[in-house]
Amino acid sequence: MTLTIFLFIAIIIAGIQTTIPFLVNRSIIFGVTIPENYLRNETLLSYKKKYSLFVSVFSLILLTSYLLWALFQPVTQEQIVLIGTFLEFAIILFSFALYFYFHGKTMRLKKINHWTENLKNIKVADLSARAHDEMLPWQVYLLPMIITVGVMIYTTIQYDLLPQQIPTHWGVNGEPDAFTEKTMLSVLLLPLTLLIMQLMFLGLHVGTKKSGIKVNSESTEVSRQRQLTLRKYSSWFMFFISMLLTMLISYFQLQTIHPTIFSATAMFLVPLGFLVLILVSAIVFAVKVGLSDKKTAPQIQEKIVDSNEDSYWKGGLFYFNKNDPSIFVEKRFGIGWTINFANPLGYLIVFLPLIAIILFTFLAK
């Protein structure tokens, strides 16, 4: 079953990495802004196809080798987990190496062909877009927090029932495999970590909602639709992940307090179900957003080009723009959001909770 889980995860990762060039913003190719009139350039299309072909072939070789190794060699579960994790990272690293290769080739192609010469740079501000914004209200993110606070209160009340050794980590089979001595901090560490993560999700939602809706001046309506779709589904996706994490960690906490409340089968199936739901929701999110600007042909504005922000993107992945008040902006490679690294609020929202989790974990030992 462990082999099946890791193969399933690796296949999903390989599928997403293979299709990324066809799901990102239509006017961005390998992190480079391309004028609408050149999006169907044969060379650019060949770059996309080659990237997808190389990633898919590489992934197929790795997955096949991993499967044959696990089936025909005497291997332990720990070895399957270790090699499976390495395999997943190998696919991601290989895809990023290919991305940087084609990013450089796309930059050179754009420069050599002078695609932006004799075109007027225009930046569009769509003041009406927010009226159609369907992001969830921030208050819904309080629901999982209320559940977590309830679990923390219940844990405190049941403190005497807890064992002297508190689980701090669970393996792929749902069984605890790491423990620490019982203290008030150690018994509350799991829900406290969850609460910090929920606060981070709330911060990500608020920061995203306050960020600008970037509209392409060459294809205003199509790009506007993508931005609204991204905002809507990312808010639902983050809330869904927050609720799933709340249910999973609350389940583990209750299992610690009442070891016999759930069967051994449930201890295996619940984490597995959590993993499947996470991966399926990620696929749905990627497809919904990725195809939102591909369904309708844009009405291209002639003799103009969207304001070129390539200089603000380092390697097409990291956004630094002090003049942009947005905390988060749409990724140029991948589906979702990335930080405006020139805005310190992004660091606080993302890294402060992570530091707090590490600190509490250290103190609980």
H helix intervals, the chain:
2-19, 42-72, 77-112, 142-157, 184-210, 220-257, 264-290, 344-364
* Averaged pLDDT for residues 175-198: 84
> Where does the pLDDT of residue 244 fall: very low under 50, low under 70, confident under 90, or very high at 90 and above?
very high
Count: domains in the chain: 1
Better-predicted residue by pLDDT, 344 or 49: 49
pLDDT in tens, 198-213: 999 999 999 998 888 8
Rounded to whole angstroms, how far apart are CA atoms 173 and 159? 26
Confidence at 121, pLDDT banded by 50, 70, 90? low
Task: Find which of 223-232, 237-246, 320-329, 346-355 is predicted with most confidence, using mean pLDDT.
Answer: 237-246
Residue 58 CB contacts under 8 Å (≥ 6 apart), including other chains? 91, 94
18 — pLDDT class (breaks 50, 70, 90): very high
> Is 7 part of a structural domain of the chain?
yes
**Res 361: pLDDT:** 79
Nearest to 172 by CA among 361, 362, 1: 1
**Mean pLDDT across the chain, nearest whole number?**
85
Q: Is residue 195 part of a domain?
A: no
Residue 301: predicted pLDDT:
56
Residue 96 belongs to a domain = yes
* 256 or 297, higher pLDDT: 256
Query: Per the domain annotation, does 40 fall within a domain?
Result: yes
Give, rounded to a whole angstrom, the gap between the first and last alpha carbons of the chain. 32
Model pLDDT, residue 172:
56
In a domain, 241, yes or no: no
Task: Give 337 or 164, the one with higher predicted confidence.
Answer: 337
pLDDT of residue 275: 83
For residues 108-120, give the mean pLDDT.
Answer: 79
Q: Does any domain span residue 258?
A: no
> Which residue segment(s) compose the domain that 63 sits in?
1-114
